[in-house]
Amino acid sequence: MRGPLAEFCAAYAWKGCKLAASGDFETITFSDDPTRQPGFLIKATEVELLSPRRAEEATAAEQNQAECEAA
């Protein structure tokens, strides 16, 4: 992924995070290194985060909302 969608994923997704992606998926193999595991190339056009927000992020979001309401 590249562009705004990649930036969104970099900011909000984490290892082990569940997400749904739609777009083109390709299987890639490494003919020059047969011991290397095949992988996937994901050309996502849409991404939806399915995991709940992390506790730290939820706490920060609540603090930001409280500050906005107080202003």
pLDDT of residue 4: 86
pLDDT band (50, 70, 90) for residue 24 = very high
Could you tell me the pTM of the whole model? Answer: 0.54
Q: What contacts 24+ positions apart, CB below 8 Å, involve 41-45?
A: 42/1, 43/1, 44/1, 44/5, 45/5
Question: Domain coordinates of the chain in residue numbers?
Answer: 4-70
- Calculate the average pLDDT of the chain: 80
Q: What percent of the chain has pLDDT over 90?
A: 13
pLDDT at 3: 81
User: What is the mean predicted confidence (pLDDT) over 47-51?
Assistant: 90
